[in-house]
Amino acid sequence: MGLFDAISKAFGKKEQKEKQIRIQVKRPRQKQQKRTKEQLMLSEWKGELERLTQHPLTQAKLINEKLLQDLYVLLEQINDKLDVLNTKLDGAGIERIGQKTSQQLSGGEQKILDLISKKDRLIAPEIANALKISRSNASLKLNKLFDMGLLEKSQEGKEVYYQLKQIKKFN
């Protein structure tokens, strides 16, 4: 090997090292994509949303909404239970009225109910004549029966008609 070969070999190794260094340095950079206006706006909105969700009033609103949802669920459960009770009361409604009349009604009031059950509706003077009591006494007894929920009133002109209350189903 001559001097020339030794020098070329020495310089060749040096050039190879420089090539490796250049290769490492000249690696292509990944291009950053330019952000569109929509992407910029979206990132701004995300930041604003994050800021708003951390605000104490927003937290209070979220808590209130959750409480309201829970309240609606409880009210639905109560409504379902009331429906079950109403169904049970439908069957027992007649017996309850019968118990009420037998416990709290006088003989005169029971006679009034019997008279009204025979006819569709009556006014106080008709009941007073049939039972031979005063009109005011008949009106008092009729109003007591009405307050107990056993009679219904309807007025036509000056006359107040009384009739037996119809048992209605609860819905």
Q: What is the pLDDT of residue 148?
A: 83
Q: What is the pLDDT along the chain (171 residues), one digit of tens a residue?
A: 566 666 666 666 555 555 555 555 555 566 566 778 888 889 899 988 888 888 888 888 888 999 999 999 999 999 888 888 888 877 665 444 544 545 567 788 888 888 888 888 888 899 899 889 998 998 898 888 888 888 889 888 888 898 888 765 544
Which is nearest to 160 in space by CA: 168, 145, 114, 169?
Answer: 145
Q: DSSP alpha helices (H): ranges in 54-106?
A: 56-104
Instruction: Indicate the domain borders of the chain.
Output: 50-104, 107-171
Give the bridge partners for 152, in sequence order.
163
Q: What is the pLDDT of residue 84?
A: 86
Q: What is the pLDDT of residue 110?
A: 86
Q: What is the pLDDT of residue 146?
A: 87
- CATH of the domain spanning 107-171, picked from 1.10.10.10, 2.100.10.30, 3.40.50.300, 1.10.150.120: 1.10.10.10
**Unique residue bearing structure tokens 């708003």:** 52
**122 in helix, strand or coil?**
strand
Q: Which residues contact 153 (CB under 8 A, 6 or more apart)?
A: 146, 160, 161, 162
Q: What is the pLDDT of residue 23?
A: 56
